[in-house]
Amino acid sequence: MDSMLNIPNTGQERVVIVGCGFAGLEMAKQLKSSNFQVILIDKNNYFQFQPLFYQVATAGLEPRDISFPIRKIFQKQKNIIIRITEVTKVNHENRTIETLIGDIKYDHLVLAQGATTSYFGLSNIEKFSQPMKTVIESLEVLNSIIHNFEDALVNSNPDKIDELANIVIVGGGPTGVELSGAFAEMKRYVLPKDYPELDCKRIRIILIEASSKLLGGLSEISSIKAEKFLRNLGVEIMKETQVLDYDGSTILLKDKEPIKSKTLIWAAGIKGNAINGFTQEVCTRSLRLIVDDFHRVKGYENIFALGDIACMTSEAQPNGHPQVAQVAIQSARNLARNLVNEKKGRSLKPFRYFDWGTMATIGRNKAVVDLKYIKFQGMIAWFAWMFIHLRSIFGVKNKILILINWIWSYITYDQSLRITFLPRNFRFNKKE
């Protein structure tokens, strides 16, 4: 038994999985009936459904609706042991990992700790902007925006009111597009009722994208349609625009006029959640671990990487697979199958990703869907988006809660979860 961690020594080969996102969770599920002892490690005791973070940030859903306790998922699996801690280093020489609660031995190590926000070296933007890579960060975005509107309501300086009320999102991928559409609908249907004393027409929802195209991973027709949907909702779109700096109130842009805003949401890039113990040669510039077709980290026999942290290149994917849930899930299934087959003396299968398609929603009755053989937009795409996301949520209770919230919002044109939580040391801003 690992004395400090109370992990029994069962004599089984031990698979240690770091991270319980889409890849780590699927890996553990695939091995729950195997003859491996599985140690699942995460900093949180819950799985969070990332595709719906934006609905927490826009008061559409509660954090608990898209979070599910890890222990509840595996409470009947005796071969799966869960430890809530942070991994600080991998020691491949003696096959152990260092964590904040002690060292853990492994026979097979699966790294699936995902990715975090990349600020591309812009320190002020890292300091003053708001990321959205966790459910807590999404809730903080909502808190900040509501408090800014409360401050704007009691301010007499028009320039200060605009600065408090304007919302700027950087990054034209699915997160940025979905956030922009949701905020635009809040501006149209919700904020005028909540803040009748405020001229909500002055509120600007601005989406900034460095490239020439929104939703870079989707087809040209879907990108154009998404842009049209956003513009019809009143979103200002600035393409081929680079953000240079931000001091908490002024956003500096390359070759364009600055924008005044207290809210800058950064959804422009991600990088791997790096763990100490690997040489620079096995990492890409974005800190992803280079893996072969069998998910092995370059140069390491029994260390594997899955999901957003992994980079598997090929002629078709010279920069690696897209960092999306389907890649994580499919790669976890392939690796789990290979570990079981290897134990039985069977041949291993290289990973081949099947792209089911990509989708994004842009507000009420509006979405774009690119499937492998068909592309469609509008209301049908919106219903398809809702069905697929609802089907992917864990737990019957969570599915029902989300469906109720969606139906209520659709009928009433309202979001009923606009509640903020103040930290203990919070101080209200003085009136200017």
Residue (of 121, 120, 112, 85) closest to 101 by Cα position: 85
Q: How far apart are CA 405 and CA 61, in angstroms?
A: 7
Give residue 264's pLDDT.
98
> With 0-12 CB in 10 A as exposed, 13-18 as middle and 19+ as buried, what is 122?
middle
Helix-, strand-, coil-residue percentages of the chain, each rounded to 5 = 35, 25, 40
Cα radius of gyration (the chain): 23
Letter for the amino acid at 425?
A: N
Give the pLDDT confidence of 264-285 residue by residue, as tens digits. 999 998 999 999 999 999 999 9
Q: How far apart are CA 368 and CA 277, in angstroms?
A: 42
Give the pLDDT confidence of 40-65 residue by residue, as tens digits. 999 999 999 999 999 999 998 988 99
Give residue 373's pLDDT.
84
Give residue 2's pLDDT.
56
Which stretches in the chain have pLDDT values below 50?
1, 432
Ordered DSSP codes for 190-242: IHHHH-TTS-GGG--EEEE-SSS-SSTTS-HHHHHHHHHHHHHTT-EEE-S--
Q: Is the CATH number of domain 14-117+270-343 3.50.50.60? A: yes
Residue (of 381, 91, 115) closest to 267 by Cα position: 115
Give residue 432's pLDDT.
47
Q: How far apart are CA 188 and CA 352, in angstroms?
A: 44
Q: Is the CATH number of domain 123-268 3.50.50.100? A: yes
Every domain of the chain with CATH number 3.50.50.100 lies at 123-268
Residue (of 256, 233, 218) closest to 357 by Cα position: 218
Helices (H) and strands (E) in the chain, counts: 12, 24
Every domain of the chain with CATH number 3.50.50.60 lies at 14-117+270-343
Ordered DSSP codes for 100-147: TTEEEE-SEEEE---EEE--TT-HHHHHHSB--SSHHHHHHHHHHHHH
CA distances from 98 to 18, 42, 95, 112 (A): 11, 13, 10, 16
